[in-house]
Structures are given as C-alpha cells and as structure tokens.
Structure 1
Amino acid sequence: MNHAGREPAKRRVRTGVPRAPLPGGGRGRAAPSGACCDTWPEDVMSGIDEAPGGPWSTDDALTQGLADTVRRTGASIGAIYLVEEGEPALRLVAMCGLPLEFSAPWRRLPLTAPVPVADAIREDRLVWVGGQEDMARRYPRVTAVLPYRFSLAAIALTGARRCWGGLVLMWPADHPRRATPRERSHIAGSAGRLARLLDEAPRPPTLPDQPRTVSVDTEPARRSARTTPAAPTALAAADYAERLPEGAAALDLEGRITFITGTAARLLGSSADRLLGTRPWQSLPWLDNPVYEDHYRTAVISRAPLSYDALRPPDHWLTFQLYPDASGISVRITPSGKQPVPHAAPRPTAVTATGRLYQLVHLAAALTETVSVRDLVDLLAGQILPAFRAQGLVLSVADAGRLRITGHYGYPAEAVERLDGLPLDTGLTPVGHSLVTGTSAFFSGPEELARSYPRAPWMSGKEAWAFLPLVITGRPVGCCVVSYDRPHVFTADERAVLTSLAGLIAQALDRARLYDAQHQLVHGLQEALLPRALPAVAGLDVAARYLPASHGIDVGGDFYDLLRLDGTTAAAVIGDVEGHSIAAAALMGQVRTAIHAHATAGGSPDQVLARTNRLLSDLDSDLLVTCLYVHLDLARREVALASAGHVPPLLCRGLRRAEVLEVDPGPLLGIDVGARYPVARVPLDPGAVLALYTDGLVEVPGNNIDHSTGELVEYLASAHDHDLEDLIEGLVHCTWPTGRHTDDIAVLLLRTLREAPAPG
C-alpha cells in the first residue's frame, strides 16, 4: 500500500482571519436562500487600518477579500484586475481557483480589449455571460483561448473617488445560464465591498508582475463530516482505494499528482515514487500531448466530470475519468472496455509547453482584430511585450527600399530617429540579414550582438533583442524588434512562439497598412464633399460635427451645409444618402450642389426640395435620400422648414423648454417627380437652439427611436446654454454612451443670438 501520495497541507495566504466554511457545504454551489453575504468578517475590513508594520497589508486584505467573495457567491474561480496608474490598461493582481500558468494570456489587458472585464469597467455595469455559446457570440477572442463551459460575471470596482478596476467570477458548467436577481445583488455587493476596501486602504495596492494566488478554504466543511481522528481516517481512505480493482489518483489544481494507488501506477506503467509530485503529461512520455493536458484544463475551468481514452504503448488502452472540485481532481483509471482503432490515438507532437500554446492562440486571436497600424502597435505594446516580459518595441515597414518606423515603445526619440530610414539590406543591425534570410535572430546580451554588429547596441541602448522579420510569401513587409532593458536568455519555447508570432504580425501589418491607405483616401473624399468651414452669419452661432461609423472604411452619405443668403437670412440643410459607398458619396455631392444652387436662386423651402427632387429623378438613382431644409429669417425671428422624409429637428426655447418640431414630411428625394413638400413655420426666440441631425444619432439597436429622441429632448432642455461644441458632444454621448455608433452621424446646431441683425 502506498501512502506517500497523501495530499500535503494546502498553501494559504497569511491573513490572520479565521476562515468560515462555504455556505451550503463549500463545494462551489450557490449560497442557500438563508445565507447572508451583505457583510464580511470585521477583520477583513478593519485589518488594513492597522498601523504600518501591522500583520496585514492592502495586498493581503484584497486577496482575502477575493477569497471571501468567491466563497460567498458560490463561484469556483475569481480574479481582481486593477487599472494601471497613468496607463489605459488592466493588471491581474489576485486570483483563486486556477493554476498560475493559466493566467499568462490575461495578466495585462488594454482597457479597450474586447473582454468582459474591460466592458464592465468602461460601461460601469455588470456583464453576465451565461455559457459557452453566449461567450462565443459576444467575446470570440476569449472563446478561442477558453473553449470550455462555464458562466462568468464581470463588474467594475467603482469606489467613492475612482474606478479601481474590475472583479471577475466564474461558475462551473452546471450553473444556470441566467443569474438570479439575488445572485446579481450578491455580486454587486461584493464589488462594492472590495471597492470600499480599496478606498479606505492607507496605501494603494501593488501591481505585481504575477498575480497573487489564494485558495478558498474548504477544509472546515470537510472536517465537519469526519467522525474519527484525521490520521486514522486518511489511512483508512488510502487502504480503501488500494483494495479497489481500478486505479485511483488525485491531482491538485496545478496538475501535480498528490496521491496515487499502486494499481494506478501499474496501469500507467511506472512507479508511485516516480509519479508523485509530477504532472502526468510530463512524467509519462505517451501522455506528452497538448490534447491530454487540455482535458485537465477543461476539468479545472468547467468543474464538470469528463472521460477520455489514451493508448499506453504498445497496445494498452486506458480510460481516464476526471472528477474535479474546488480543491483538485480525482482520477479513476481503468482498462478500456472498447478498443479504439490505432489511428484514433493522437499523434505525438513536439509542443509540450501548452501554456505557451494557449498564449499564442490568445495573441493570434487578438492580432486578427487589429484594424489600423496604430491598433497593431498598441496591441504589441500592451499584450505582446508583457507576455514576454520585454520593455521595448520597434515596428518598421518596408517602404521604397528603406525601413520606416511606424510605431515604437520604450525607446527615446533620439534612438528612434537613428533607427528610422535604414536600408532594407542594412549591415548596421541584424534587421537586414533577418529580412534577406527570413529567419529570426536572438541576442541575449550586448556583447553577443556587438561581435557581429559593433554599432548596433549603442544605437538603441537595450541589452537583449529579438529581431523578427515580417515576410509574406517571400515578400518583406517589415521588421519587428522586441527588446529588453537587461540581458535576457531566450528559451526554446520563447523563440518558437516569437517566430510563429512574426508571421501573424506580418499579415496583420499588411492588412493594417492597406486599411490605413483606404481610410486616408475615404477620409480625404469625405472632407472634400463636406463644407470645409461654416460661414459666419450675423445673429447666429453655429456648430457642426460629422462622425463616421465606428467600423468599416466606406464613405458615408450623411451631409450638412449652411448658406448665407443675405444680411438677415440663411439656409441650413441636413440629409442622408442611403448606404456607404462611392456611389452614395457621389450622389451626396450632387444633392448638396443642387440644393446650394436652388437656395441661392431665391427658392422657398418647398421649391428647393421639389427642384432637387426632379433632378434626382432624372438621374434615376437607386439610392434613397432624406433631406431637411431650413430657411432662417433672423430679422423676423422665424424659421420655415420642409422635410423629405428626414428625422424631425429639435428646438429648445430655454431652460426645460425643448420639443420635437413636428414637420409634415414629403416623400424621399428621387422617388416621385411631382412630389410636394409642406412647409412649417415656427417662431425663433432669442437664445433658442435648433438641432438638426441624421438618423444615426437616434437609431440605436434595441432602443425605440422615440425613446432615443426623448432622451435628446431632455438633455437639450437641461444643457441648452452650454457651448455648442460641448452640446454636440453631450447629445452624441446621450444616445451612444460607449461611442460605438453603428451608423454615420451628422449634427448641425444653430443658436440665435440675443440681438437680431438689422434688415438690409
């Protein structure tokens, strides 16, 4: 009988606070209805108030607070992110329920990253993900790295003075897809307590390179079930396992074998002494495959039982059944009753660093989401460098036989100036040789680099480098240099991952450059079609804003204009051509030109729209056009409006006196050649604000357009006296608080001044 595998005492974070058992038995289930999680033990909140030198630090209190939160919410996994000072990034500072190596892809995240915790912080709300399908739909990058079944909640840690960061909680695969109101209340309450802990801390918490880990103590619940002393019970349990015909083993959350029976060792073809303390996929060559380690990861994260078969050479098929909980995994090993065909066995692979493999998948998924070169540089600086503990980055593109630096991080300006514009075949640094040969070059220290390139070390001031050529099908795209402030020995798996990343970075850079070129072309076309500046009109204060859609590079059809007709009259126009294309932009230019010509010729609002409509009917365009034309008589304090199916304008006459101007709309332009456009006349008081806008401002997915318009009216009534530029900003934020508008937006604001211009 082998007792050497008894589970060692679990490592615990020092807190000085006695641990309470988990509500409901401590096995990752939700707290029962009678459980209260409105308060923490007083020592958790008061421990940080002790004088410096006391037994607790802010870090200890925060880590213990996380453990208590996980215990009281019934979660299986928890993590705390804090916002880095002066950087738009999040740092993972504490976690429980997962091995430390699992956190590698998630230790530092940009605040703009498409992940639940970043969304929760940016939008200051609880983000709930009910399962794998929900995660795949909303956060595909996360799913690529964590393709497992679990539920997740993320919520901001918003204190009295600031948002400190975010809390992430995960539940096993059998958790209901929807969170109950009580559960949401518990999560929000836990986040509030953690934020208050941070508010009241005498010193801010540290931001470690690796997160602090803590185990959720379930031992009291286990001990309460025992009726005999601990040592005899352990011996009896081991004897019981040894007498069973199948093998039994236990893994901790790090994947190490903490207990194994003699039968299990014989089935695995080894001895218990050689297996204890090791990970199976490291100590058994025939299990050295990422597929088998992934089964372990699945069990740890989903906390759901699973089973799989593996072939122990030459012909012994074994069935492994994994039963996980919060403390580890119980493994049942039996000879397989079925005989899978030989080719069904996973083929051996050279990849043994599964943690690095997952990290590569995570970074590859992130690279696919970069759009512009600026996005790519931010991603490399924010995620690639921390993943490899590097401090410097230079990204160059091949341009007319030279390397032009398009982005850098961690380098002084003078160093960038020296490195910019080097020829592609330069011999000053390894860049030229790497591009010619297409192979990466790694230098662990300045002496190693100086032997072949004497001038290279002093050009950058760094002390270790990875030169990664960016090549696509033999065509050099550029070069990525990852550097270190101190000497650094590159391990074999670091070299492999960085070399693999170079190919992905090359493709991302090529796409980003193409996008930037197209975006610049589109932006230039859009600027050419919109007025460069609005004319000054006596008695009128004006401001305008055009916001292209948040995604895509196609030019839009939204337009606006302001025309000074004479000393006391002016015309304002706003419209929207259907679609996002060159055709839409061209039609928009024709509509603006036609309106300008008919307005300056002295036409009334209905005449201007009717004549423009006839022109578009002659052009026989398939695109629909909405338009609102406004004639302002500033001497008479009157405005006349005509609409071709456009969204109605807003008028604010003063504090809490805003309304939607109901203008009887005529048909869209270009549909009916004989269409008529009714005219509405409205008095325009001194200080009044007239707001013209396109439908992109109010057509919010999942929100009724009348509701969005009502929100704009309320905001305009309360902020009518603001500066017009600030007022536009507020109106856009009112309906699109995250800034991710899905359509183009044009806004034109007109405010009448207190003194009207004199007639003539």
Structure 2
Amino acid sequence: MTPRGEESVGTGRLDTALADTVRRTGASAGGVYLLDEPAQALHLAVMCGVPAEVALPWSRMAVAAPFPVTDAVREDRLVWVASQDDMARAYPRAAAGLPYRFALAAAPLPGRARCWGALLLLWPASHPEAATRREQGHITAAARRIAHTLDQAPVPAAAPTRPRLIPVTADRAADPSHHAAADYVERLPEGAVALDLEGRITFLDSTAAALLGREADRLRGTRPWQSLPWLDAPLAEDHYRTAVISRDPVAFTTLRPPDTYLRFELHPDASGISVRITRATPPDGPGPAPPGPAPAGGYAPAPTAPGTTPPAPSTPAPAGTATPAPPGAVPAGAGAPGAAQVGRLYQLLHLAAALTETVAVRDVVDLVAQQILPAFDADGLVLSAADAGRLRITGHHGYDPQVIDRLDGLPLDTDLTPAGDVLATGVPSFFADPAEMARGYPRAPKISGKQAWAFLPLVISGRPVGCCILSYDHPRPFTADERAVLTSLAGLIAQALDRARLYDAVHDLAHGLQQALLPRSLPTVAGLRIAARYLPASHGMNVGGDFYDVIRIDPTTVAAVIGDVQGHNVAAAALMGQVRTAIHATAGAAPDQVLARTNRVLADLETDLLVSCLYMHIDLARGRAVLAGAGHPPPLLHQPGRPPGPLPLDPAPLLGVDVDLSFAVTDLLLTPGTTLALYTDGLIEVPGADPDRITADLARYLAAHASQDPGLVVDGLIRHAWRSGRYTDDIAMLLLRAEPQTS
C-alpha cells in the first residue's frame, strides 16, 4: 500500500530528498516523519537503511510522547543522541526496543507556514559521540531542504498509512567482471553469503550452501533464521540486527546439528551485509578442517575432519559488539517451531516500557491505539471490563459510536460477542475471517463490519478483569508468533489498566473535593475586571493545593488571595479548603494580620504541610492596594507608561514554618489600567528553563496584551509559558485590572 503522504508530494520527490540527505550527511539510515496536526501525531512516511520491521514500533508516535523526533517537533530544535547510554538516560522507552550502538539526530522540518514533521538520521556506532557544529549545520540544512520539497508539493502532505522503504544507493549496474568475481568466490574454501538490509539472502556460493546443509535455490530469497530451523532462535536474528543498525562487524559461533560448529562473520554497509562462514572449533576438541570442494548442487555438507581453528575476522569488532564465542559457548539451539522473532521480543519490550508510563485509563487507551494497533496492523480497539455482571466499555478506537453504544453494557453470558466467554475462561480467541466468527457467534460480524478479531483476556492474579479486542478491516490469519506476543501483551495491558482504574477512582475523589473547595464564581465589582483559572497538572495525580479567591468586603473593597498548599494528594486539597476558610474568617483585616491569623490556624491543625500565600486588600474608592506575602511568587505588575515586571515584595517564610511569624506589607497605587497577574509557581517552573527569564518574558507579554479581555490574557500567559500544554504542576492564576469608575 502506498502511503498517502508519498502520493501527495509527488512520486519519488520525498524518496530522493531523503536518500540524498543520508548520503550527504554520511548517515547509515534515515526517515521522514510527517506531522498529523489534528491528531497531534507523527507518522513515518519514508525510510531507508534499516529493515521495515525495526521501525514498526515507531511508525506512529504521539507528539507528546518522549522520543527524539517528538522532542524535535515540540521544542523546535535539533536533538542529538550520541550513544546507547545517552538513549537509555534520555529515552528509556526507545532504548528498550533498540538495544544497539548507534548515534542519532532528529531535526524539525520547518516549512513556510507550518512544521511538516521531523527528519531522523542514524549513524554507525563508530561515529564520534559529539556532533561538530559543521555537522549540525549540515543536518539542519538538510531538514530545510526536505521541508522545501514538501512546501513545493502540488498537494499538501498527509499522514501515511504505512512507511515506504527505499534504498540508500542505486542498484549496481551489470558488469561482466561479476562472473569472474563469482568464480573467484566459488574457489575459496569458505562460504560466502550476501544479505540485503531486510535480512534476505541475495547470493550464496556452493560452499556456503554445503556448510548450511541446504540447496542454494531453497535459501535464496529467504531469511536464514526462518529457512534454517537450527538458526531459528533470537540469537541469530539479534546479531543480524546489531550489524544492520550499528554497522559494526559482528561474529558468532553456533551449532548446526548434530555436531558441526559454524562461525559467522557479518560485515555490513549501506547496501547489505556480507557474511563469511567457516567451520569452528568444537567446545571439547580440535576444530574441523575447512571444507573441500563442494559436491554437485552444493547440498551435502562436507565431511568433518580434524584441522585448524578458522582465522580471526579481518576487521575487529569495536568494544561492546558481539564477539566470537569461545570454546564452551552455548550454541544458538535448535529453535523450537513458532519461537518469537527477536524483533517481536524487542517490540514487546518497547510496548511494556510504554505501558509503565501510563497513568489514567485514557492514557492506556491512547497508547494501545497509537502504538499497539499500528504494530499489529490492526484497525479497531475495544477495551471492556466486567462490572456487576456486564461488559462495560472503558475505551475504544476505530469504531462507530453507534456500534459502541450497542456493545456497551451487554451481559457477560451474551452470545453476541466472544468477549464474555473470553472473560469467563481466560483463554484468548482469534478469528481470521467473518465466516470463522459466524460459526460460533452468528450475529457478531454484522454489528461492526470488521473482518478479523483477536479477543484477549485481561487477567490480574489469575482473575479475568476485562477484555481487549483488536479488530481488522480485512481477513487476517494469526500466526503462532503473533498469538504468543498478543497474549503476553494482554497481560501487560491488564496490569496497566488495573493501575489506571485505581488511579482514576482516587483522582475523581480528590479532584471532586478540590473543585468543591474552589470558588464556583467570582464577584462582580465596579471598577475592577477579574479573571481566574485553575489547571491541574497534566501528569501525575492531577490534584493539588493551589487555590485562589476574591472576597467582597463592601461595595468598593475586596480581598484577593492566591496560595499553594504543599503536595498533590487528598490531604493537600483538604488543607487548602481549611486555609481558604481561615482567610474568609479574617478577610477585611490588614493583610499582615490575615496571614498571621491563618498561620496560627495552621499551627492548631498540627499539619506537616506548608502553605505559600499572597493576600491583597483592594480599596477601589481610594485607588489603593495593600499586599502581604508568605513565601509566594510576587505578582506581575503592568501600569500604563511604566516598565512591566514583578512587584517587589518583602520576603517572608511560608505559612506553617513558625507560629509567631510576622509579615511585611507593600502599598500600591491602583491607577486606571493597572493590571496585576497573581499566580502559583506551577506557571513559571518549566523544566529546563530559568524561572526568572520566564517571569520577565511573561511580564512583557502582559504589557503587550493588557488591554484585551482579562480571560484571554490569562489563557495567553499560560500558553506562553507552557507551549507544549503539558503542565508538570498545578497552575492557579488570578488577573485583576483597575478600570475607571463610572459615576
């Protein structure tokens, strides 16, 4: 299937641009991700230099996910990962699925009017860890050229359905000397095999066929670990993947049953892998001699005879790569039928690492939809849980809402779908086509129109708690490998879903308590425009002790308060309510007295939590405000005709530090147009950024937009500080603007 993104940029344009970039930068592999803005996801459109199955787990990624290409797009910068150690530290989820040595760069594709996506480049393990300034310039220039190619496309690029694999180099032209080269190889006393980057055998000589024990015609076009049962083990494929990704020479020794040890030396480049095969020394005796002339057809193995140890590889493998097995090494094994391929194993590791990062049920559903569905080429998802004897759907993707309404709430013993039976037995069910499904559940295929299904029980401690359904828009057989991986994956999904449901229950309780304690509405006061926002952290418990309030004292006097209780839990939310009550009880007194009395209330509560607070007494009739703070960030101040910035306040400790604290006050003249932005520290504590610089930047933004509606200004300040929208802490904001009073 041709990706839609390929068609939209014209045949070959994006392919040529990527291949040229890989050659010019000296990279070993590369790919172009296109940004799907509505879905906020990156789709791999075209790639070269690595097998397609290696990139499968990363063919679609949410922009918010932690990966180099997503960071490049989100932060609009070049991301350089120098080594596997750097990858493990910065991107542990990606490192779990790619445990190889290589260097990596990701750069955004800056178009004329939008970011098109990201360029991804990989270098061999031999690349220096530091990228020079000149090299970084080449990478960013290449990204701009690809973005220009996308800008010039007659039809805008769209998210592809699947990535297109292209060669890095052009096909080598036919040369008469190739026959002489083949004759030369045939005369050597060792086997020669050529693999393409997908791992398929493109050439082997008769000696190699003899050593491998199979006719050459039956091996060409196959992958060795699939066509040779004794190589059907993760070890062989993992060595191949190490060579093709790290571009390191790799050597290993394995047993060809019953008693022949073979040594494989893999030498990779941009076009494929050359493999040298020789006899190896057995663990318990002298090694067999190199084979003699191969028999006709190259099928029968050469006889074993005492001889010498085969020579060492011509190019030593760098540190950290696979090395030849010494005498006594464990053989690769006979490889049981149906053994999972190493790519599936690493894919499972990648998905397992991703599932550990999910928090809420919505996170689990999104992860399964964004990464697990593409990994298994599925089109639809339904997650359901057993609740009071019924199947309650907790999440879905790729289904019409009317179908979901019909399936939601079915009894567990329903014959409309296999989900109930799967829950009752704990045994997965696979249906390759509608006819197979209709034999047991005649009405099921007619409901959704899907053509193949995998029903996976979600089991926790031996107890089925739900069912995960993957569905397909086309008939599809399920191999033993896929069934094994999907069944294992269901266990990981069950654990993640169970944690997420518990989290959601606690969160709903705590968040409901917090919302009940925040003011439902703010008073309308002549001469004062007011706007407020509370935003929970986008990650973690999503509930904390941030609060704000505006308290009317009389028609021309109000009190404004903002604060932050330490912690993100139910205790913090409950204490926040008690602090607000204490402030309400003393509002109208001098600001320093309000804070002092609130501090004594905290001492009486004997809590271990501390509270930052800023209290402001506003007298609109006199155009004057008096402020006092307790360890809280000073408000941003803008007055027409004056430079904006934080309002200087005398520092004071947090509430709860000492029962006998005193608090200094600050006077402020409220001229018409004076705007104050009160906020909690979650607004300015952006990871990797200087809070002072962010504060100064926000003050300039406030001055530039102070005349706008206060609600729009508050929203703009939050977006300006947190461009990604993923807040790491709660944010409370209160914006106050003095207006001319009408008589």
Sort the TM-score into its range (normalised by shorter chain): 0.7 to 0.9
Look up the match of 1:82: 34
Q: Distance in 2 between matches of 1:326 and 1:302?
A: 11
Q: Distance in 1 between matches of 2:648 and 2:240?
A: 64
| Structure 1 residue 707 displacement after superposition | 1.8
| Structure 1 residue 735 displacement after superposition | 2.7
Look up the match of 1:70: 22
Moved more, 577-586 or 644-653: 577-586
Give the direction of change, closer, same or farther, for the CA distance of 1:315–1:75 in structure 2 (3 Å limit).
same
| Structure 1 residue 331 displacement after superposition | 2.2
After TM superposition, the structure 1 = structure 2 runs for residues 341-380 of structure 1, keeping only pairs within 5 Å, are 344-347=330-333, 348-349=335-336, 350-380=338-368
Q: Distance in 2 between matches of 1:272 and 1:509?
A: 50
- What is the one-letter code of the residue matched to 2:111? G
Moved more, 102-111 or 640-649: 102-111
Answer yes or no: is 1:297 the counterpart of 2:241.
Answer: yes
Give the direction of change, closer, same or farther, for the CA distance of 1:584–1:414 in structure 2 (3 Å limit).
closer
Select the residue among 727, 738, 755 that pairs with 2:724: 738
Select the residue among 61, 68, 75 that pairs with 2:13: 61
- What is the one-letter code of the residue matched to 2:485? V
Select the residue among 226, 238, 251 that pairs with 1:282: 226
Contact 1:632 1:639 in 2 (8 A): yes
Look up the match of 1:33: none
Select the residue among 550, 553, 558 that pairs with 2:538: 550
Aligned to 2:11, the other structure's residue is in SS state: helix
Answer yes or no: is 1:690 the counterpart of 2:671.
Answer: no
Contact 2:543 2:730 in 1 (8 A): no
Look up the match of 1:631: 617
User: Identity percentage over the alignment?
Assistant: 63
| Structure 1 residue 680 displacement after superposition | 1.1
Select the residue among 162, 173, 176 that pairs with 1:231: 176
| Structure 1 residue 402 displacement after superposition | 0.5
Give the direction of change, closer, same or farther, for the CA distance of 1:741–1:412 in structure 2 (3 Å limit).
closer
Q: Distance in 1 between matches of 2:271 and 2:720?
A: 47
Q: Distance in 2 between matches of 1:417 and 1:273?
A: 55
Answer yes or no: is 1:186 the counterpart of 2:138.
Answer: yes
Aligned to 1:565, the other structure's residue is in SS state: strand
Give the direction of change, closer, same or farther, for the CA distance of 1:674–1:210 in structure 2 (3 Å limit).
closer
| Structure 1 residue 244 displacement after superposition | 4.7
Look up the match of 1:640: 626
Select the residue among 456, 465, 471 that pairs with 1:477: 465
After TM superposition, the structure 1 = structure 2 runs for residues 161-240 of structure 1, keeping only pairs within 5 Å, are 161-205=113-157, 208-217=160-169, 230-232=175-177, 234-240=178-184
Contact 1:104 1:355 in 2 (8 A): no
Could you list the per-position Cα deviations for residues 163-220 of structure 1 after superposition, in whole angstroms to 9, with x for gaps in the alignment?
2222111111111222222222211111111111111112345655442222222779
| Structure 1 residue 343 displacement after superposition | 7.3
Look up the match of 2:319: none
Aligned to 2:456, the other structure's residue is in SS state: strand
| Structure 1 residue 274 displacement after superposition | 4.3
Look up the match of 1:616: 602
* TM-score, scaled relative to structure 2: 0.87
Q: Distance in 2 between matches of 1:573 and 1:662?
A: 17
Could you list the per-position Cα deviations for residues 633-652 of structure 1 after superposition, in whole angstroms to 9, with x for gaps in the alignment?
11111111111222111111
Contact 2:523 2:552 in 1 (8 A): yes
- What is the one-letter code of the residue matched to 2:687? P
Aligned to 1:665, the other structure's residue is in SS state: coil
Contact 1:654 1:720 in 2 (8 A): no
Look up the match of 1:19: none
Aligned to 1:579, the other structure's residue is in SS state: coil
Look up the match of 1:318: 262
- What is the one-letter code of the residue matched to 2:229? P
Look up the match of 2:321: none
User: How many residues are treated as equivalent by the alignment?
Assistant: 695
| Structure 1 residue 245 displacement after superposition | 4.7
Look up the match of 2:275: 331
Aligned to 2:532, the other structure's residue is in SS state: strand
Contact 1:557 1:585 in 2 (8 A): yes
Look up the match of 1:753: 739
Aligned to 1:128, the other structure's residue is in SS state: strand
Select the residue among 654, 675, 689 that pairs with 1:703: 689
Look up the match of 1:20: none
Give the direction of change, closer, same or farther, for the CA distance of 1:445–1:705 in structure 2 (3 Å limit).
closer
* TM-score, scaled relative to structure 1: 0.86
Moved more, 636-645 or 362-371: 362-371
Could you list the per-position Cα deviations for residues 307-327 of structure 1 after superposition, in whole angstroms to 9, with x for gaps in the alignment?
222122233333322221111
Could you list the per-position Cα deviations for residues 146-178 of structure 1 after superposition, in whole angstroms to 9, with x for gaps in the alignment?
111111111222211222222111111111222
Moved more, 316-325 or 139-148: 316-325
Look up the match of 2:100: 148
Aligned to 1:167, the other structure's residue is in SS state: strand
Q: Distance in 2 between matches of 1:705 and 1:355?
A: 44
Q: Distance in 2 between matches of 1:541 and 1:170?
A: 55
Moved more, 707-716 or 585-594: 585-594
Q: Distance in 2 between matches of 1:486 and 1:267?
A: 42
| Structure 1 residue 507 displacement after superposition | 1.9
Contact 2:542 2:730 in 1 (8 A): no
Look up the match of 2:196: 252
After TM superposition, the structure 1 = structure 2 runs for residues 540-619 of structure 1, keeping only pairs within 5 Å, are 540-553=528-541, 555-599=543-587, 602-619=588-605
Aligned to 2:176, the other structure's residue is in SS state: helix
Q: Distance in 1 between matches of 2:716 and 2:367?
A: 30
Give the direction of change, closer, same or farther, for the CA distance of 1:428–1:280 in structure 2 (3 Å limit).
closer
- What is the one-letter code of the residue matched to 1:94? V
Q: Distance in 2 between matches of 1:465 and 1:710?
A: 56
- What is the one-letter code of the residue matched to 2:71? D
Which sections of structure 2, spanning at least 5 residues, go unmatched?
284-325
Moved more, 234-243 or 515-524: 234-243
Contact 1:364 1:504 in 2 (8 A): yes
Q: Distance in 2 between matches of 1:723 and 1:187?
A: 43
| Structure 1 residue 261 displacement after superposition | 4.2
Aligned to 2:614, the other structure's residue is in SS state: strand
Contact 2:510 2:569 in 1 (8 A): no
Could you list the per-position Cα deviations for residues 319-374 of structure 1 after superposition, in whole angstroms to 9, with x for gaps in the alignment?
32222111112223333357356672344344154444443333333333222222
Select the residue among 126, 130, 143 that pairs with 2:82: 130
Contact 2:233 2:341 in 1 (8 A): no
| Structure 1 residue 688 displacement after superposition | 1.4
| Structure 1 residue 302 displacement after superposition | 0.8
Give the direction of change, closer, same or farther, for the CA distance of 1:217–1:487 in structure 2 (3 Å limit).
closer
Q: Distance in 2 between matches of 1:501 and 1:672?
A: 53
Q: Distance in 2 between matches of 1:575 and 1:108?
A: 41
Could you list the per-position Cα deviations for residues 32-88 of structure 1 after superposition, in whole angstroms to 9, with x for gaps in the alignment?
xxxxxxxxxxxxxxxx9xxx9xxx971311111111111111111011122347433
Q: Distance in 2 between matches of 1:57 and 1:563?
A: 59
Could you list the per-position Cα deviations for residues 220-246 of structure 1 after superposition, in whole angstroms to 9, with x for gaps in the alignment?
9xx9xxxxx9433x3554455455554
Give the direction of change, closer, same or farther, for the CA distance of 1:212–1:366 in structure 2 (3 Å limit).
same
Give the direction of change, closer, same or farther, for the CA distance of 1:333–1:525 in structure 2 (3 Å limit).
same
| Structure 1 residue 655 displacement after superposition | 6.6
Contact 1:561 1:573 in 2 (8 A): yes
Contact 1:105 1:358 in 2 (8 A): no
After TM superposition, the structure 1 = structure 2 runs for residues 445-524 of structure 1, keeping only pairs within 5 Å, are 445-524=433-512
- What is the one-letter code of the residue matched to 1:323? H
Which sections of structure 1, spanning at least 5 residues, go unmatched?
1-12, 14-47, 224-228
- What is the one-letter code of the residue matched to 1:469? P
- What is the one-letter code of the residue matched to 2:710? L
Look up the match of 2:707: 721
